[in-house]
């Protein structure tokens, strides 16, 4: 018995505006030189020659970019699982006095919705590690009240 091939999934995108003439010429030139691979579209023919489209949605793959038919949604970095885990680890490091770990985790300030939060945690770690000059430099020129407070703490000749 011969196995039947599975139907080809066709994803239909919204209409796209044609490329400007100069861009289209560049693309055609690159394709002719072999710099761009040609696009191959497989379509399973349905009744009356219509393309068959699988009605079951494909679950989104893990990642930051979600693509829909009419828009692209980019999830902010702080909303990713990586950043949620980083913030949880940073809070645990703060709670348990793991200053080197806290200093390391707060290097990725994009994992916090407000970058000042990561900066304050990092300044706290620098202070506890005795790296007062670095602590002051992190806060220099910043207007947030919490950061200004840490600049004063790190400037105090204890």
Q: Is the dihedral of CA 113, 88, 137, 135 positive or negative?
A: positive
Say if residues 40 and 75 touch (Cβ distance below 8 Å).
no
Predicted TM-score (pTM) of this structure: 0.53
Confirm whether 100 is domain-assigned: yes
Say if residues 154 and 122 touch (Cβ distance below 8 Å).
no
Q: Tens of pLDDT along 40-79?
A: 333 344 444 444 444 444 444 444 555 556 566 677 888 8
Residue 113 gets which letter from DSSP? Answer: S
Q: What is the CATH number of the domain that holds 118?
A: 1.25.40.10
Range of the domain at 147: 79-155
Confirm whether 106 is domain-assigned: yes
How many domains does the chain divide into?
1
């Amino acid at each position: 018995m011969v196995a039947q091939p599975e139907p080809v999934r066709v994803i239909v995108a919204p209409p796209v505006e044609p490329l400007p003439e100069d861009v289209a010429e560049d693309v055609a030139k690159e394709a002719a030189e072999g710099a761009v691979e040609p696009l191959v579209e497989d379509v399973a023919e349905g009744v009356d020659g219509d393309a068959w489209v699988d009605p079951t949605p494909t679950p989104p793959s893990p990642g930051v970019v979600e693509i829909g038919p009419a828009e692209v949604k980019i999830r902010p970095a702080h909303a990713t699982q990586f950043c949620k885990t980083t913030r949880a680890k940073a809070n645990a490091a703060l709670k348990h006095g793991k200053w080197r770990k806290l200093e390391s985790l707060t290097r990725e300030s994009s994992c916090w919705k407000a970058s000042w939060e990561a900066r304050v945690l990092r300044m706290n770690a620098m202070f506890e590690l005795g790296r007062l000059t670095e602590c002051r430099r992190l806060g220099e020129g910043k207007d947030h009240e919490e950061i200004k407070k840490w600049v004063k703490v790190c400037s105090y000749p204890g």
